[in-house]
Chains A and B, each alone.
Chain A
Amino acid sequence: MEYLIIIISAVLVNNIVLSQFLGICPFLGVSSRVSTAVGMGAAVIFVMTLATIATWLIQHLILVPLGLAFLQTVAFILVIAGLVQLVEIVLKKVSPALYQALGVFLPLITTNCAILGVAILVVGREYNLAQGVVFAIGSSLGFLLALYIFAGIREKMDLVDIPRAMRGAPISLVTAGLLALAFGGFAGLV
């Protein structure tokens, strides 16, 4: 039950993109086609879960026992950057098909602030490892959901005559705002 609440809260109520403002760059950048949005979302689910496990272990087994908690930012970003490289190499060897599907998105993920953000949130909220993993899965599912819906809307928007000044980024941002407003309806669910 506790895990269910964490998931629902992370996917719908406190959606990582639409209410926490994490991962906005890929949200605006790779959301023009539904297929690329799904690929990016899947890559994020994969990396975010692994990164949360890795950073949780580093925080609780290395940084805290040694009194080095102030090195959190430096340590986490290095681990995430290294992890993304590692995932890329392993995936290439083990599952070329999956690599084909996710490969192009992996390098972009290092600079996705959602990954570092979730890792820091998990430590900050003092989740245990299981709660942390559930939270990471929920957050990344929320990312995938937001990206998927947004890409669907943007595909339709290609067919619309938009006022000159609003073309490109402005209309995307306003659309995202309306989507965030819709997600606001989930407040109070948990």
Chain B
Amino acid sequence: MSSVTLTREFTKGFLRENPVFVLLLGMCPTLGVTSSAINGLGMGLATTAVLLGSNIVIAVVKDLIPDKVRIPAFIVIIASFVTIIDLTMAAFLPPLHEQLGLFIPLIVVNCIILGRAEAFASRNTLVASAVDGLGMGLGFAFALTLLGAIREFLGAGAIFGLPVPFLFDNPILIFIMPPGAFIALGFLIAVVNTLREKAGA
């Protein structure tokens, strides 16, 4: 595959086929962990690691898996990577692991990962699958960090934990609470849709 197509595979996850804004996949962690920018980034990177690992392994073993049992086989591969990430984070990043809690084991049912396995890694080469996994994962991380930053900015008056003058003393608390997640994401998708339309997508 030429480097031009590889670049395209890599960048499509950020806006054109962004898993959150455009494909509306992986909504549970998107809404559940984005009460701050750092949590969103952590969740995004954990998902990227799983996606990269599972895409690589599936691209390698795809010819060994009988077609009929491919979905259960993919799920076992994905669940193994999720377990690895879960234990690694528990060992080296205990505070973040505590914050993300239930949503780390739930990466296994994140539709983005199985979706990429089924739609891309099971029919493409190792290199293309790795690039696709990395691009999609970072696109997901980008969306989560952006949403987390917006919610943290409005709801806690800070960005990445750094206080913003004025807002810090008068935060709009609702944005770091569950209803704020839905509302902020709704408006963010509306903005992205408008931008995409203007760009002639």
Binding site for B on A (CB under 8 A): 18-25, 28, 70-74, 77-78, 81, 111-113, 116-117, 120-121, 124, 165-166, 168-174, 176-178, 180-181, 184
Chain B hits for A77, CB < 8 A:
75, 79, 108-109
Whether B186 and A74, one on each chain, are in contact in the complex, defined by CB atoms closer than 8 angstroms, is no
Whether A172 and B106, one on each chain, are in contact in the complex, defined by CB atoms closer than 8 angstroms, is no
Which of B108, B177, B179, B191 is within 8 Å of A116, CB to CB?
Answer: B108
Whether A25 and B190, one on each chain, are in contact in the complex, defined by CB atoms closer than 8 angstroms, is no
Q: Does B136 make an interface contact (CB < 8 A)? A: no
Whether B83 and A173, one on each chain, are in contact in the complex, defined by CB atoms closer than 8 angstroms, is no
Cα–Cα distance between A126 and B28 once the two chains are bound (Å): 24
Whether A173 and B109, one on each chain, are in contact in the complex, defined by CB atoms closer than 8 angstroms, is no
Which of B32, B83, B114, B174 is within 8 Å of A73, CB to CB?
Answer: B83
Whether B102 and A74, one on each chain, are in contact in the complex, defined by CB atoms closer than 8 angstroms, is no
Whether A21 and B109, one on each chain, are in contact in the complex, defined by CB atoms closer than 8 angstroms, is no
Cα–Cα distance between A135 and B183 once the two chains are bound (Å): 28
Contact-size category for B: 35 or more
A74's nearest neighbour on chain B, judged by CB, is: B79
Chain A hits for B171, CB < 8 A:
none
Whether A170 and B87, one on each chain, are in contact in the complex, defined by CB atoms closer than 8 angstroms, is no
Q: A116-B109, A120-B105 are in contact. Are A74 and B83 (CB under 8 A)?
A: yes
Chain A hits for B108, CB < 8 A:
73, 77, 116
Whether A170 and B187, one on each chain, are in contact in the complex, defined by CB atoms closer than 8 angstroms, is yes
Binding site for A on B (CB under 8 A): 24-25, 27-29, 31-32, 72, 75-76, 79-80, 82-83, 86-87, 102, 105-106, 108-111, 114, 174, 177-183, 185-187, 189-191, 193-194
Known contacts A120-B102, A170-B190; 20 additional CB pairs below 8 A are A21-B31, A28-B24, A28-B27, A73-B105, A73-B108, A77-B79, A113-B28, A116-B106, A117-B102, A120-B105, A165-B190, A165-B191, A165-B193, A168-B193, A169-B24, A169-B189, A174-B183, A174-B186, A176-B182, A177-B180
Chain A hits for B83, CB < 8 A:
70-71, 73-74
Whether A180 and B28, one on each chain, are in contact in the complex, defined by CB atoms closer than 8 angstroms, is no
A75's nearest neighbour on chain B, judged by CB, is: B79
Q: A21-B31, A24-B28, A73-B86 are in contact. Are A78 and B76 (CB under 8 A)?
A: yes
